[in-house]
Structure 1
Amino acid sequence: MAVSRRHLTPVGERISVALCTHNGAAYVGEQVHSILAQTVPVHEIVLGDDASGDDTVAIVRELAADTDVDLVVREHSPALGVRDNFADAIAATTGDVVALSDQDDVWHPERLATLVPALQTSSLVHSDARLVDERLR
Protein backbone atom coordinates (compact mmCIF):
# COMPACT_ATOMS: atom_id res chain seq x y z
CA MET A 1 0.00 0.00 0.00
CA ALA A 2 1.31 3.40 -0.86
CA VAL A 3 0.32 6.45 1.12
CA SER A 4 0.91 9.92 -0.22
CA ARG A 5 0.31 13.47 0.92
CA ARG A 6 -1.61 15.21 -1.77
CA HIS A 7 -1.43 18.86 -0.65
CA LEU A 8 0.87 20.96 1.50
CA THR A 9 -1.52 20.74 4.45
CA PRO A 10 -0.75 19.24 7.86
CA VAL A 11 -0.50 15.46 7.78
CA GLY A 12 -3.51 13.69 9.19
CA GLU A 13 -6.18 16.28 8.49
CA ARG A 14 -8.26 13.98 6.31
CA ILE A 15 -7.46 10.43 5.21
CA SER A 16 -8.89 8.88 2.06
CA VAL A 17 -8.57 5.30 0.87
CA ALA A 18 -8.67 4.50 -2.84
CA LEU A 19 -9.96 0.91 -2.89
CA CYS A 20 -10.04 -0.79 -6.29
CA THR A 21 -12.01 -3.94 -6.98
CA HIS A 22 -13.09 -6.42 -9.64
CA ASN A 23 -15.25 -9.39 -8.65
CA GLY A 24 -13.87 -9.19 -5.13
CA ALA A 25 -16.91 -10.31 -3.12
CA ALA A 26 -14.96 -13.18 -1.56
CA TYR A 27 -12.31 -10.82 -0.15
CA VAL A 28 -13.48 -7.23 0.04
CA GLY A 29 -15.49 -7.54 3.26
CA GLU A 30 -12.46 -8.45 5.31
CA GLN A 31 -10.49 -5.61 3.75
CA VAL A 32 -13.18 -3.01 4.44
CA HIS A 33 -13.41 -4.23 8.05
CA SER A 34 -9.64 -3.74 8.40
CA ILE A 35 -9.85 -0.22 6.92
CA LEU A 36 -12.68 0.73 9.28
CA ALA A 37 -10.78 -0.72 12.26
CA GLN A 38 -7.72 1.52 11.84
CA THR A 39 -6.56 3.25 15.04
CA VAL A 40 -6.25 6.43 12.96
CA PRO A 41 -9.71 7.10 11.51
CA VAL A 42 -10.32 7.00 7.79
CA HIS A 43 -12.62 9.77 6.56
CA GLU A 44 -13.38 8.58 3.04
CA ILE A 45 -13.29 5.44 0.93
CA VAL A 46 -13.39 5.86 -2.82
CA LEU A 47 -14.37 2.52 -4.31
CA GLY A 48 -13.29 2.09 -7.91
CA ASP A 49 -15.12 -0.99 -9.12
CA ASP A 50 -14.06 -2.38 -12.47
CA ALA A 51 -17.20 -4.03 -13.92
CA SER A 52 -17.75 -6.56 -11.14
CA GLY A 53 -20.39 -9.19 -11.85
CA ASP A 54 -20.74 -10.18 -8.18
CA ASP A 55 -21.81 -8.46 -4.95
CA THR A 56 -18.57 -6.52 -4.41
CA VAL A 57 -20.15 -3.06 -4.49
CA ALA A 58 -23.14 -4.10 -2.36
CA ILE A 59 -20.83 -5.54 0.30
CA VAL A 60 -18.81 -2.34 0.55
CA ARG A 61 -21.95 -0.19 0.65
CA GLU A 62 -23.42 -2.32 3.43
CA LEU A 63 -20.26 -2.22 5.55
CA ALA A 64 -19.83 1.54 5.20
CA ALA A 65 -23.52 2.36 5.72
CA ASP A 66 -23.46 2.52 9.52
CA THR A 67 -20.19 4.44 9.80
CA ASP A 68 -19.09 8.06 9.63
CA VAL A 69 -16.85 7.24 6.66
CA ASP A 70 -17.83 8.92 3.40
CA LEU A 71 -18.20 6.34 0.63
CA VAL A 72 -17.84 7.33 -3.00
CA VAL A 73 -18.59 4.54 -5.47
CA ARG A 74 -17.26 4.75 -9.01
CA GLU A 75 -18.52 1.82 -11.08
CA HIS A 76 -16.85 1.32 -14.44
CA SER A 77 -18.34 -0.57 -17.36
CA PRO A 78 -16.51 -1.44 -19.44
CA ALA A 79 -13.61 -2.11 -17.09
CA LEU A 80 -10.79 0.45 -17.04
CA GLY A 81 -8.04 -1.96 -16.05
CA VAL A 82 -5.96 -1.83 -12.88
CA ARG A 83 -3.86 1.27 -13.66
CA ASP A 84 -6.73 3.44 -14.89
CA ASN A 85 -9.09 2.24 -12.17
CA PHE A 86 -6.59 3.34 -9.51
CA ALA A 87 -5.93 6.62 -11.34
CA ASP A 88 -9.65 7.36 -11.42
CA ALA A 89 -10.18 6.45 -7.77
CA ILE A 90 -7.20 8.51 -6.62
CA ALA A 91 -8.42 11.51 -8.63
CA ALA A 92 -11.81 11.26 -6.90
CA THR A 93 -10.39 11.35 -3.35
CA THR A 94 -10.66 14.50 -1.26
CA GLY A 95 -8.23 13.66 1.53
CA ASP A 96 -4.93 15.27 2.40
CA VAL A 97 -3.53 11.75 2.74
CA VAL A 98 -4.41 9.02 0.25
CA ALA A 99 -3.86 5.32 0.97
CA LEU A 100 -4.14 2.74 -1.80
CA SER A 101 -5.79 -0.62 -1.26
CA ASP A 102 -6.45 -3.75 -3.29
CA GLN A 103 -9.62 -5.73 -2.63
CA ASP A 104 -7.77 -8.66 -1.08
CA ASP A 105 -5.55 -6.71 1.32
CA VAL A 106 -6.04 -6.94 5.06
CA TRP A 107 -4.47 -4.15 7.07
CA HIS A 108 -3.03 -4.34 10.57
CA PRO A 109 -4.98 -1.96 12.86
CA GLU A 110 -1.91 0.29 13.27
CA ARG A 111 -1.04 0.49 9.57
CA LEU A 112 -2.06 4.10 9.02
CA ALA A 113 -0.85 5.15 12.49
CA THR A 114 2.58 3.88 11.48
CA LEU A 115 2.71 5.22 7.93
CA VAL A 116 1.01 8.63 8.18
CA PRO A 117 3.65 10.22 10.51
CA ALA A 118 6.32 9.36 7.93
CA LEU A 119 4.63 11.88 5.63
CA GLN A 120 6.02 14.68 7.78
CA THR A 121 9.38 14.14 6.05
CA SER A 122 8.34 12.57 2.75
CA SER A 123 5.55 12.96 0.21
CA LEU A 124 5.26 9.19 -0.42
CA VAL A 125 5.62 6.18 1.86
CA HIS A 126 5.11 2.47 1.30
CA SER A 127 5.35 -0.76 3.22
CA ASP A 128 6.24 -4.34 2.47
CA ALA A 129 3.51 -6.89 1.88
CA ARG A 130 3.29 -10.16 3.71
CA LEU A 131 1.77 -13.07 1.81
CA VAL A 132 -0.73 -15.07 3.85
CA ASP A 133 -3.22 -17.84 3.24
CA GLU A 134 -7.00 -17.62 3.57
CA ARG A 135 -6.64 -17.83 7.38
CA LEU A 136 -4.13 -14.96 7.41
CA ARG A 137 -1.26 -17.31 8.36
Structure 2
Amino acid sequence: MQLKPNKTIVTFIIICVLQLSLSVVRLFTMDHQMVPTFIGFTYFLVSLVFLGLLAVMLIDLLMEARRTIQGRIINKEGSIINVLRDDGKLKRFRINVPEVLVALRADYRVEIVSTNLANIPSRITVIE
Protein backbone atom coordinates (compact mmCIF):
# COMPACT_ATOMS: atom_id res chain seq x y z
CA MET A 1 0.00 0.00 0.00
CA GLN A 2 1.62 3.21 -1.21
CA LEU A 3 1.45 6.27 1.07
CA LYS A 4 2.50 9.01 -1.39
CA PRO A 5 5.51 10.40 0.52
CA ASN A 6 6.56 12.64 -2.37
CA LYS A 7 3.44 14.76 -1.90
CA THR A 8 4.29 15.26 1.78
CA ILE A 9 7.92 16.03 1.03
CA VAL A 10 7.10 18.51 -1.75
CA THR A 11 4.57 20.29 0.48
CA PHE A 12 7.15 20.56 3.25
CA ILE A 13 9.77 21.84 0.75
CA ILE A 14 7.38 24.57 -0.39
CA ILE A 15 6.72 25.60 3.21
CA CYS A 16 10.47 25.66 3.95
CA VAL A 17 11.23 27.77 0.88
CA LEU A 18 8.51 30.27 1.76
CA GLN A 19 9.58 30.56 5.38
CA LEU A 20 13.25 30.77 4.42
CA SER A 21 12.59 33.52 1.91
CA LEU A 22 10.46 35.46 4.41
CA SER A 23 13.17 35.18 7.06
CA VAL A 24 15.92 36.30 4.69
CA VAL A 25 13.86 39.24 3.39
CA ARG A 26 13.02 40.28 6.94
CA LEU A 27 16.67 39.93 7.97
CA PHE A 28 17.89 42.25 5.20
CA THR A 29 15.05 44.79 5.27
CA MET A 30 14.75 45.52 8.97
CA ASP A 31 16.22 48.72 10.32
CA HIS A 32 19.26 47.69 12.34
CA GLN A 33 19.28 51.01 14.17
CA MET A 34 15.83 50.53 15.70
CA VAL A 35 15.79 46.76 16.33
CA PRO A 36 17.86 45.03 19.01
CA THR A 37 20.67 42.74 17.85
CA PHE A 38 19.15 39.54 19.28
CA ILE A 39 16.09 39.87 17.00
CA GLY A 40 18.33 40.02 13.94
CA PHE A 41 20.28 37.04 15.27
CA THR A 42 16.98 35.18 15.81
CA TYR A 43 15.99 35.75 12.17
CA PHE A 44 19.43 34.49 11.13
CA LEU A 45 19.00 31.31 13.20
CA VAL A 46 15.50 30.71 11.82
CA SER A 47 16.91 31.06 8.30
CA LEU A 48 19.65 28.52 9.05
CA VAL A 49 17.18 26.02 10.53
CA PHE A 50 14.86 26.21 7.53
CA LEU A 51 17.81 25.98 5.16
CA GLY A 52 18.87 22.77 6.91
CA LEU A 53 15.33 21.34 6.79
CA LEU A 54 15.13 22.24 3.11
CA ALA A 55 18.40 20.41 2.42
CA VAL A 56 17.20 17.28 4.27
CA MET A 57 13.88 17.24 2.40
CA LEU A 58 15.55 17.75 -0.99
CA ILE A 59 17.99 14.92 -0.30
CA ASP A 60 15.09 12.64 0.69
CA LEU A 61 13.15 13.58 -2.44
CA LEU A 62 16.04 13.08 -4.86
CA MET A 63 17.70 10.03 -3.29
CA GLU A 64 15.90 6.71 -3.33
CA ALA A 65 17.49 5.42 -0.10
CA ARG A 66 14.83 3.89 2.15
CA ARG A 67 14.64 2.20 5.57
CA THR A 68 12.71 -0.99 6.17
CA ILE A 69 11.14 -1.73 9.56
CA GLN A 70 9.25 -4.89 10.45
CA GLY A 71 7.00 -5.17 13.45
CA ARG A 72 3.50 -5.60 14.82
CA ILE A 73 0.84 -2.88 15.04
CA ILE A 74 -0.03 -2.35 18.70
CA ASN A 75 -2.85 0.17 18.29
CA LYS A 76 -4.24 3.04 16.20
CA GLU A 77 -4.87 6.51 17.63
CA GLY A 78 -6.57 8.61 14.98
CA SER A 79 -4.10 8.82 12.08
CA ILE A 80 -1.15 7.51 14.13
CA ILE A 81 -0.22 3.84 14.37
CA ASN A 82 2.09 2.47 17.04
CA VAL A 83 4.35 -0.31 15.78
CA LEU A 84 6.36 -2.59 18.06
CA ARG A 85 9.50 -3.32 16.05
CA ASP A 86 11.18 -6.73 16.05
CA ASP A 87 13.96 -5.35 18.25
CA GLY A 88 11.42 -4.42 20.97
CA LYS A 89 11.28 -0.64 20.39
CA LEU A 90 7.99 1.20 19.92
CA LYS A 91 7.77 3.44 16.85
CA ARG A 92 4.98 5.87 15.91
CA PHE A 93 3.99 6.56 12.31
CA ARG A 94 1.50 9.11 10.99
CA ILE A 95 -0.56 7.73 8.11
CA ASN A 96 -2.13 10.44 5.92
CA VAL A 97 -3.91 8.14 3.43
CA PRO A 98 -7.36 7.22 4.84
CA GLU A 99 -7.76 4.08 2.67
CA VAL A 100 -4.56 2.61 4.07
CA LEU A 101 -5.42 3.61 7.63
CA VAL A 102 -8.80 1.81 7.42
CA ALA A 103 -7.15 -1.38 6.12
CA LEU A 104 -4.71 -1.59 9.07
CA ARG A 105 -5.77 -3.36 12.26
CA ALA A 106 -4.15 -4.00 15.60
CA ASP A 107 -2.02 -7.17 15.80
CA TYR A 108 -1.21 -7.08 12.06
CA ARG A 109 2.41 -7.83 11.28
CA VAL A 110 3.66 -5.15 8.89
CA GLU A 111 6.72 -4.07 6.97
CA ILE A 112 7.09 -0.29 6.72
CA VAL A 113 9.39 1.34 4.19
CA SER A 114 10.23 4.96 5.03
CA THR A 115 12.51 7.71 3.72
CA ASN A 116 16.04 7.62 5.03
CA LEU A 117 16.50 11.05 6.65
CA ALA A 118 13.01 12.38 7.46
CA ASN A 119 11.57 8.93 8.28
CA ILE A 120 8.34 9.59 6.35
CA PRO A 121 6.56 6.28 5.62
CA SER A 122 6.29 5.55 1.90
CA ARG A 123 4.88 2.00 1.82
CA ILE A 124 3.22 -0.40 4.24
CA THR A 125 2.92 -4.11 3.51
CA VAL A 126 0.85 -6.42 5.71
CA ILE A 127 2.84 -9.63 6.21
CA GLU A 128 0.18 -11.75 7.93
Regarding TM over 0.5, the answer is no
Specify the TM-score bucket, using the shorter chain as the normaliser.
under 0.3
TM-score by structure 1 length? 0.23
Where relative contact order (Cα < 8 A, 6+ residues apart) is larger, the structure is 1
| Structure in which a larger fraction of residues adopt helix | 2
Larger radius of gyration: 2
